[in-house]
Amino acid sequence: MAARDHTLWGPAAEDESAKRLGWVDLSTTSRPLVAEITALRDQLHGQGLTRVVLCGMGGSSLAPEVICGAAGVELDVLDSSDPDFVRTAIDHDLAHTVVVVSSKSGGTVETDSQRRAYEKAFADAGIDARERIVVVTDPGSPLDSSATEAGYRVFRADPSVGGRFSALTAFGLVPSGLAGADIGALLDEAESIRPALAEDSVDNPGLRLGALLGVANLHGVDKLVLCNADAPYAGFGDWAEQLIAESTGKDGKGVLPVIVESPTSPNFSPSSADEVLGSFGPGWLFDDVRTKSGWGVSVDAPLGAQMLLWEVATAVCGAIIGINPFDQPDVESAKAASRGLLEGGGAQPEPVFSDGAVTVYASPGWLGTEVTTVHDAITELLAGLDPTHGYVAVQAYLDRHRDGALAGVRATIAEATERPVTFGWGPRFLHSTGQYHKGGPGTGVYLQVTSQPERDLAVPDRPFTFHEFLIAQAVGDGQVLAEKGRPVLRLHLDSPADLDAVRQALQ
């Protein structure tokens, strides 16, 4: 792998893997970026631009979020199509804001919409967007062309690195460095472990971790429950989740990461027989916790080393379970369904019933006509869980800052069902666990929560609003899941103020 041998994942993966192995030595090849990013940061600070907003999705946003969290520097991550979320970000301290627009493909609709909204805000405020917008993209992408023409500062990332493996490329380093993180030290941390990860040895930590995940999976232990063991980089679980789920969840196989709140949280303690328990950080959590499956791992390393280690392990796991870890074949299906709805080519769903301020939608064939309350609809959804390998995915297409308390239902449902439960904010999970939901084992049930916004927001020069786009994403993803036989329940609120009704039903 260290020599970029693209044949390691079988003949069907060779075309893709031949273009996706540049991540193995980024700790050295990304080094020239450090001085370039630091110089730009000093220039921006000299202009009084001290607030950094990142418009990006998936690997383009999750890596900088954890890097900046570990460094204790502020980075505002705009990774949503929720109009209230977008408006709050734009309205805050525009005078001191620089915006990093980050998209590998250059065509990510969420990111394009966010960029357009910021361009309008700058224009309305009499601010030259060329002084405020920094672009990170692959060379030759549509965004590269349009940003260069517009006069924006463009960082062209290494095209031989896929999005979820891009933490140590310009996608991870530019927004983090501009926000004030020590990106040189991050690369030093990764370089410190790279020789061990390249060694042909049973002591190679990447081989050991990847083998544990892969072999456990072959034995039916296909969930990885990750807990922060007092690490200074608490958001690492969200980054690892998208790396592992999107890389392995395909061909009916995969490892489902389940990120839990603490060592005493349901799914970690107690656990279930289909779970590997994992912790990241300096604490060893298994003195008082017994894994029901017998499989567990604790990984202690600085952040840059953790990132490179888990990337190697994910690629190793993919080889063992027999999938291509570098493609994402089921992500496009949900995007196509969303586009169809926005363009008027898809059928809008009919509600099953309304219960007060909540309108209930369901994929065909599983919700009985006798069900007339939100509580009973949730009960019916959870009753369909496979008791040995099933999982619940809660998907909240809401403002994750304003509505953050909803994430607490993850532990509630896990305790009630004694099954693994994940929680994801839409649409960002579509660029993460969304691939696993559609391409991985068909053992999940899916609870979507959507809402009318406080106020909608137009996407400049596009025939749809942010809210229309967000609902199309939820409905489109739900339709693709339903086509694959996955049960989907959507609870749509009359307003964000009605969220308590859903929380109470879940409790």
Whole-number pLDDT of residue 161: 96
With CA atoms as reference, report the closest residue to 413 among 392, 398, 429, 383: 392
Q: Where residue 318 falls among pLDDT bands split at 50, 70, 90?
A: very high
Angle at 71 between CA 68 and CA 74, to 5 degrees: 45
| Alpha-carbon torsion, ordered 196, 199, 206, 166, to 10 deg | 80
Statement: residue 315 has pLDDT above 80: yes
The residue behind tokens 């990764």 is 190
Whole-number pLDDT of residue 346: 65
Whole-number pLDDT of residue 64: 98
Look at 331-335, 406-410, 439-443 and tell me which has the smallest mean pLDDT.
331-335
Cα–Cα distances (Å) from 429 to 116, 239, 396, 436, in that order, read 22, 11, 9, 10
Encoding tokens for residue 418?
């004694």
CA–CA distance, 370 with 352 (Å, rounded to integer)? 11
Residue 14 buriedness (CB in 10 A; 0-12 / 13-18 / 19+): middle
Domains in the chain, ordered, with CATH?
31-181 (3.40.50.10490), 207-321 (3.40.50.10490), 331-506 (3.40.50.10490)
Query: pTM for the complete prediction?
Result: 0.96
Residue 278 near residue 291, CB atoms below 8 Å: no
Statement: residue 175 has pLDDT above 80: yes
Predicted confidence (pLDDT) per residue in 34-74, tens digit = 999 999 999 999 999 999 999 999 888 999 999 999 999 99
CA–CA distance, 111 with 117 (Å, rounded to integer)? 10
Whole-number pLDDT of residue 41: 98
Whole-number pLDDT of residue 75: 98
Whole-number pLDDT of residue 337: 87
Long-range contacts of 12-19 (CB under 8 A, 24+ apart): 12/324, 13/324, 13/326, 13/327, 16/324, 16/326, 16/327, 17/324, 17/326, 19/159, 19/160
Encoding tokens for residue 379?
């009960």
Crossing angle (nearest 10°) for helices 303-321 and 205-218: 40
Looking at this protein, which amino acid is placed at residue 466? F
